[in-house]
């Protein structure tokens, strides 16, 4: 079935460092891809999305490009802030399935 | 819009008791999803509805779990009887269409002792 794989383990980095979180997917159709963010004690919020190959989603300084050839949707930010500390989830929605498939999430901790 | 509303935000109950979690989706959204989040299992989809009709409940862990959506603005997730392993954060989410973004509520943190 459709699935999403995120890199293992938490990510700890210093303020103003560059962030990359890897996400690869497996899907039989042409999925839409999403990044969600979960701040402590809150529900998931949509951070950005891309609906077709080569689309770039962006929001709050974060970017991710839908790469069909490598089945990837890596999340990047050039300069992180302490307020970016959260859990980040990659997800996909295939038109043939009425649901989102989520990755396991990555805890990001930004140290001042 | 107030967003997805869940109640209660926190619930502590004893093993064997009945627990009812409530959700009010965003007005006009025709899909509603119930998720469970734990450290061990991550985020799991339990069941989802389209136009108040359950579409897929294959994620519901056992017969102790049941969900209803009597109208477009209200859904419940019931656990009877509850067990300690049901302790988790339960999220409700709604969306306009199956492949559009889902909007999540703040969650209900359930603790079963």
- Are B98 and A93 spatial neighbours (Cβ–Cβ below 8 Å)? yes
Residues shown for chain B: 113
- Are B65 and B46 spatial neighbours (Cβ–Cβ below 8 Å)? yes
pLDDT of res. B105: 95
pLDDT of res. A94: 72
Cβ of residue A106 closer than 8 Å to a chain B Cβ: no
Banded model confidence at residue A93, pLDDT cuts 50, 70, 90: confident
Which are the contacts of B111, defined by CB distance < 8 A and separation ≥ 6? B10, B11, B12, B13, B87
**A95–B99 C-beta distance less than 8 A:** yes
What share of chain A has pLDDT > 70, as a percent? Answer: 96
**A42–B43 C-beta distance less than 8 A:** no
A33-44 exposure pattern, b = at least 16 Cβ within 10 A, e = fewer: bbbbbbeeeebb
Residues of B contacting chain A (CB within 8 angstroms) = 4, 31, 33, 42-43, 45, 48, 50, 55-56, 91, 93, 98-107
Banded model confidence at residue A61, pLDDT cuts 50, 70, 90: very high
Is omega for the bond preceding B81 within 30 degrees of 0, making it cis?
yes
CA A4 to CA A6: how far, in whole Å? 7
pLDDT of res. B35: 96
Longest CA span, chain A: 44
- Are B45 and A4 spatial neighbours (Cβ–Cβ below 8 Å)? no
Does residue A96 surpass a pLDDT of 80? no
Residue for token pair 């103003």: A16
**B107–A99 C-beta distance less than 8 A:** no
- Are A17 and A80 spatial neighbours (Cβ–Cβ below 8 Å)? yes
A55-59: average pLDDT: 97
Per residue in A1-46, pLDDT (tens digit) is 788 999 888 999 999 999 999 999 998 878 899 999 999 989 999 9
Is the backbone of residue A8 left (phi > 0), alpha (psi -120 to 50) or beta? beta
Q: Which residues of chain B have pLDDT under 50?
A: none
Q: What totals of helices (H) and strands (E) does chain A contain, helices first?
A: 0, 12
């Amino acid at each position: 079935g459709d699935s999403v794989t995120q890199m293992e383990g938490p990510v700890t980095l210093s303020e103003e460092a560059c962030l990359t979180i890897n996400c690869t997917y497996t899907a039989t159709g042409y999925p839409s891809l999403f990044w969600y963010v979960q701040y402590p004690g809150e529900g998931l919020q949509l951070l950005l999305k891309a609906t077709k190959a080569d689309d770039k989603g962006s929001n709050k300084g974060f970017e991710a490009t839908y790469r069909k050839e490598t089945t990837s949707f890596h999340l990047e930010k050039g300069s992180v802030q302490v307020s970016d500390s959260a859990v980040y989830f990659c997800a996909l929605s295939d038109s043939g399935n009425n649901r989102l498939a989520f990755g396991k999430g990555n805890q990001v901790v930004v140290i001042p | 819009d107030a967003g997805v509303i869940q109640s209660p935000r926190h619930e502590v109950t004893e093993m064997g008791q009945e627990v009812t979690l409530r959700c009010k989706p965003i007005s006009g959204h025709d899909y509603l999803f119930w998720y469970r989040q734990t450290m061990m299992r991550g985020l799991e989809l339990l069941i989802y509805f389209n136009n108040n009709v359950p579409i897929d409940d294959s994620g519901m862990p056992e017969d102790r779990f049941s969900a209803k959506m009597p109208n477009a603005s209200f859904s419940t997730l019931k656990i009877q009887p509850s067990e300690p392993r049901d302790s988790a954060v339960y999220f409700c989410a709604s969306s306009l269409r199956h492949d559009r973004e889902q909007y999540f509520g703040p969650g209900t943190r359930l603790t079963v002792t």
